[in-house]
Chain A
Amino acid sequence: MDITLVVWRQEHAKAKGRFVTYPARGISPDMSFLEMLDVVNEELSERGEEPIAFDHDCREGICGACGMMIAGRPHGPRKLTTTCQLHMRSFADGDTITIEPWRAAAFPVMRDLIVDRTALDRIIQAGGFISVATGSAPDGNAIPVPKEAAERSMDAAACIGCGACVAACPNASAMLFAGAKVSHLGLLPQGQAERHARALSIVERMDQEGFGSCTNHGECEAACPKGITLENIARMNRDYIAASFLKRPKTGGGEW
């Protein structure tokens, strides 16, 4: 296959970016999308041009490192598929493919297709956990978890933190990512103690990081390579509203 790539090149965070066109010739349909980029990069290197920078690691669709806008869609045209699991047979000989980094105020571009997604880590820092110090856990079977709850929790926990939902959203909202975490932990008995506090602090942090609001486009769900559903956003909204009503001033403080 012969393909034409139109790729966003940007030297560093403060540099002005531009699209550059590269031919990708003799591409096998069995190559993954990233292997196709490897081939282009080897050719660039041999010609003395700096290769295209992109994040990637496991190349089996689980680490969440890779991710780029491929022909206007996060992770490209195939449903439930990360960029590294997309293969060139999804394209036709002679295609022109535009490749861009995730575009969101909260994800500044660092170089070419690499963006800074640490805002997602900071959302987790704000409350995406169950506070249980090492050694303090009861026996694993001391807390039965209904099978249905465990399954739904697992559905939400499958999020790989790639950021495609943010890139897909016209508002660059992180509601699907955050909702998945609120659901993963809030559906389990172990997560109940901090359920309301978690929803409040996660939403607050999301706003601080510059992510937009949700206006129910549903693009995030369509783009998610792991099938995280909008139901998770609804669940976070419900927890957030309940928590806002039930919120009480902090007690305690001072000596006792």
Chain B
Amino acid sequence: MELRSKVPDGPLAEKWRKHRFDMKLVNPANKRKHRILVVGTGLAGAAAAASLAELGYDVEAFCYQDSPRRAHSIAAQGGINAAKNYQNDGDSIFRLFYDTIKGGDFRAREANVYRLAELSVNIIDQCAAQGVPFAREYGGLLANRSFGGAQVSRTFYARGQTGQQLLIGAYQALERQIGLGKVRMFSRHEMQDVIVVDGRARGIVVRDMVTGEVGSRLGDAVVLATGGYGNVFYLSTNAKGCNVTAIWRAYKRGAAFANPCYTQIHPTCIPVSGEYQSKLTLMSESLRNDGRIWVPSQAGDRRPPPEIPEGERDYYLERKYPSFGNLSPRDIASRAAKQVCDEGRGVGPGGLGVYLDFADAIARLGEDAIRERYGNLFEMYERITDENPYRVPMRIFPAVHYTMGGLWVDYDLMSTLPGLHVLGEANFSDHGANRLGASALMQGLADGYFVIPYTIGSYLAGTKLARVPEDHPEVRSVEAEVAERNRRLLSIRGKRTTTSFHRELGKLMWEHCGMARNERGLALALEKIPALREEFWKDLSVLGDGNALNQSLEHAGRVADFLELGELMCRDALERRESCGGHFREEFQTEEGEAQRDDDRFCHVASWEYRGPDAPPLRHVEPLVFENVHLQSRSYR
């Protein structure tokens, strides 16, 4: 397997412009003859499907939800970055590029990140024109705020619902094309495999989640925009349905999986309240602007927080990182919370929480000022926990939030499987080892609106594609494999529910491949996960039948894939013998306990090639070359 990034020659700032001219075009009259299959309808997928249809391609779009509007992009709160420099505060495309590369701990491809920063400005224009109700100044112009520790104000937002509003914009553009007959929409359809003919992705196998029917959709190219795989941890801030199945099946058909171990753990989530917990809820990290984080100094101190005197509290972020304090970056704040909880100083049920205390801010600014800033967040917290954060400190704990890893793609967003393109969180390309706040929305929309419409045209224009008949042996064979797999899940008739396996896998992953990893733990997980997978295929119980709406079967299919992915993540984490961004290996830290990169040995993308069920996957390397930025270590002390 060869990892050819196909980054165009020339100066960084000229690459995309030059490439756009060099790419081949499809004659307008011929576009409708090309069918493109777009899987997933979040920001990346909906934007791609709508834009490709506007160009004249024959598009089919697929989502597992009942409507394309429900994809999990909708839950993003904070905002979207763009290098507009409307605030005249020194922002530029290069600065956004630099911040993103540095935030990713120098583990992303320069050319991709630069293009992302370039396109960020077009995204805002497009979304504003669609009617996204961005926050405005009194003069009617777009408002900005600074976010995630950025030194410039470049984040555009729509209250705390930016993801929702951007998605509704893309969804409406998509629905318009559906209404015009340019996109055929398949909601409640789950992609279960890729069809590869003559070495190219030519179709997908989908299960109609209402009738249970397994069938194929064929086309000239496949676009996967199916999101991240954080639910491998069972508990995460992802929606319950988020899964790895689409990209996992693509991996098993020849698409390399890059940096699977890079996961982002967000420090400010509401802690787990009991065994029944089904998901975790994020609280905007803006709370850290005024809240002070602490735990009792003594392990096992169970007194209610007001009874713990000032001298017996440990404001550990302020103590360890005096210059950044409570605003330390996500990965650092998360790890510090884990550390104090490991020491037995955690608070709340199970000792898995730390206090985020607003008492000082309320004394200084008054309750009204705090209500004005965070009223809706405080209300959400109270709704979930039944505790009043104006009176008692909030309890927070880190939770899995985003996965930077994903299918490897070249500059054209094509995977190592020709014809299979991957957008948004599902690919690995732009965030390196750690994603900055307000960058996920930017990447999804850049890929969907402004990259894939160009690059897929070049692929189609430069490739001879014979029509694949519906009864092609490969089509029939992949369909049969998928049907057989569903039948197998239903016929185990064991004793354990899918949820019980999913929870157990999640605990293993959190324990050994979560906020901090080490050789021994990863090796242990690499023994336990295959054993759990074996038990899954022996003792699983899935009720009902395959020819109906069967949510148990859907969940089982997804967990079966998570049980394979988990192993690859641990393998990747084991092999990356350095700490970088969201990947912290305990053996590789500075004397102060900070992440220690090893640029000599690991300044590369690790991409895994599937070699069948009986052979271990093969690790390939794409070296990362930095010509425009200087590699440095991050310090927040």
Contacts and interface: CB of A to CB of B under 8 A. Distances in A.
B546 interface: no
Interface string B231-249: 0000000011100000000
A65 B25 CA distance: 40
A147 B66 contact: no
Nearest to B445: A134
Contacts of A249: none
B175 A59 contact: no
Interface in B160-188: 161, 164-165, 168, 171-173, 175-176, 178-179, 185, 187
Interface string A46-86: 10111101011111101111000000000000000100010
A87 B383 CA distance: 8
B172 A117 contact: no
B179 A35 contact: no
Contact of A62 (B125, B164, B179, B548): B164
Contacts of A122: 179
Contacts of A158: 161, 164
Nearest to B180: A125
Nearest to B50: A134
A81 B382 CA distance: 13
Interface string B51-70: 10010000000000111111
Contacts of B499: 38, 42
B130 interface: yes
Main secondary structure of the interface of A (DSSP, over half): loop
B27 interface: no
Q: Which of A53, A133, A140 has the most CB of B within 10 A?
A: A140
B449 interface: yes
A135 B274 CA distance: 49
B326 interface: no
A50 B69 CA distance: 29
Interface string A214-249: 000000000000000000000000000000000000
B126 A132 contact: yes
Contacts of B552: 45, 50-51
Contact of A58 (B75, B135, B159, B277): B75
A58 B133 contact: no
Given A117-B66, A128-B175, A59 B131 contact: no
Nearest to B160: A62
A63 B74 contact: yes
Interface centre among B51, B54, B450, B541 (most CB of A within 10 A): B54
Contacts of A87: 383-384, 386
Interface in B119-157: 122, 124-131, 133-142
A45 B67 contact: no
Interface in A107-122: 110-111, 114, 116-118, 120-122
Given A143-B128, A146-B140, A118 B276 contact: no
Given A51-B551, A134-B453, A63 B50 contact: no
B72 interface: yes
Nearest to A65: B70
A190 B128 CA distance: 8
Nearest to B135: A150
A129 B70 contact: no
Contacts of A12: 548-549
Contacts of A147: 136-138, 140
Interface in A85-121: 85, 87, 89, 110-111, 114, 116-118, 120-121
B278 interface: yes
B171 A111 contact: no
Contacts of A42: 497, 499-500
A170 interface: no
A197 interface: no
A191 B169 CA distance: 12
A138 B129 CA distance: 7
Given A35-B278, A63-B75, A124 B129 contact: no
B276 A126 contact: no
A31 interface: yes
Nearest to A13: B210
Nearest to A162: B70
A157 interface: yes
Contact of A157 (B165, B281, B383, B551): B165
Contact of B176 (A31, A111, A125, A141): A125
Contacts of B72: 57-58, 63
A127 to B, nearest CB: 8
A190 B130 CA distance: 7
Contact of A129 (B173, B384, B551): B173
A111 B552 CA distance: 13
Query: What are the 4 A-B residue pairs with the smallest beta carbon separation, nearest first?
Result: A144-B140, A125-B179, A137-B129, A129-B172
Given A89-B386, A128-B175, A184-B131, 5 more contacts: A63-B74, A64-B70, A121-B178, A133-B51, A135-B449
14 contacts: A59-B239, A59-B279, A62-B74, A64-B69, A111-B549, A114-B66, A118-B187, A125-B175, A130-B172, A133-B54, A137-B125, A137-B129, A140-B128, A184-B131
Interface of B: 47, 50-51, 54, 65-72, 74-75, 84, 86, 122, 124-131, 133-142, 158-159, 161, 164-165, 168, 171-173, 175-176, 178-179, 185, 187, 210, 239-241, 273-274, 276-279, 281-282, 383-386, 449-450, 453, 497, 499-500, 541, 543-544, 548-549, 551-552
